[in-house]
Amino acid sequence: MARFAANLTYLFTELPMFQRFAAARRAGFDGVEILFPYDLAAKDLARAAQGSDMHIVLMNMPPPNWAGGPRGFAAEPGNEMRFRKDFDRALLYAQALKVRHLHVMAGRAEGPEARDTYIRNLRWAAERAPGVSLTIEPMNAVDMPGYYLNCFDLASEIIDEVDATNLGLQFDAYQAHMIHGDVIETWHRHARNVRHIQIAGCPGRHEPRAGEIDYAGFFRAVDAAGFSGWVGAEYTPRTSTEAGLRWLRSA
Residues labelled as active-site residues: 137, 234
Any idea what DSSP says for residue 195? E
Q: Among 220, 170, 164, 172, which Cα is nearest to 196's?
A: 170
Phi/psi at 171 (5° precision) = -95, 100
Under 8 Å between Cβ of 167 and 126: yes
Q: How far apart are CA 62 and CA 9, in angstroms?
A: 14
Q: Among 60, 62, 77, which Cα is nearest to 10's?
A: 60
Q: Among 85, 37, 81, which Cα is nearest to 57's?
A: 37
SS3 for 36-73 is CCCCCCHHHHHHHHHHCCCEEEEEECCCCCCCCCCCEC
